[in-house]
Amino acid sequence: MEQNRDETRGAIIDGARAVLRSGTVFDLTPEAVAFASGVPVEAVFEAYPGSDRTNNIGEIVFDIAETVLNNLMVEISELTPDDEWATNLADTTVVLLTSDPDVNRQALLAAASLGRGTVRRAEPVALNAVGGILEDRKEAGEAVDEDRDAELRLIVTLFRGVIFAWASDRFDQAELHARMLEVADIVISQRDRRRPTSDI
């Protein structure tokens, strides 16, 4: 039963992505998603019921956007904290976001406008991912800010700012890569600034 429900939701998300590739969020209707998904329209309403904040299409958009951000954070959390970390961070972000750019741009922007300017459930995953990076760097001998949560939230805020600027079509793939390198440099400089210095 659970497997069937997951398969249905997966088909609906695939269908919604197909609609976004050929159109816009304004083309996302239960009927269009059902047709592209190959499921009855009733299944769309059942799998994605509306909430007190949005309708069923809004819930589908949230699901797509959350998946994009969470997958990105998981990929970033697995990066090795070495000298290539900044470049790998930028590369990973560009590859994932531009793998399906029309869908990702529209879903991220629509989710932000529908919600509270952020995507549900993404923040804990983001903080855990960045937290893992900082823990690795701490083990490598770097100092750690006492207010760790504040630092993590600052990094995630910078990161999201670049992603949503890209989603709003303010810059292209090359600029996205350059901006992510800037974010990485800020993270590294924050760590270097607190690195303990040896006595001379």
Where does the chain show beta strands of DSSP type E? none
Residues 6+ apart with CB under 8 A from 159: 126, 130, 183
What is the per-residue pLDDT for 152? 61
More confident residue, 147 or 18: 18
- At 87, list the tokens: 């470049």
What is the per-residue pLDDT for 188? 72
Residue 123: closest CA among 59, 115, 84: 115
What is the per-residue pLDDT for 77? 75
CA atoms of 121 and 80, how far apart (whole Å): 25
Give the side-chain half-sphere CA count within 13 A for 173: 11
Assigned architecture for domain 1-48 = Orthogonal Bundle (1.10)
Amino acid at 76: I
Residue with tokens 């090359």: 174
Q: What digits encode the pLDDT tens for the residues 144-179?
A: 555 455 556 666 778 888 998 999 988 899 999 999
Q: Does the pLDDT at position 14 exceed 90?
A: yes
Q: What digits encode the pLDDT tens for the residues 50-94?
A: 876 688 899 999 999 989 988 888 888 788 878 888 899 899 999
Alpha helices in the chain, H assignment, sequence order: 2-22, 30-37, 41-47, 56-77, 85-97, 101-114, 122-139, 148-167, 173-193
- At 94, list the tokens: 């560009």
* This prediction's pTM: 0.77
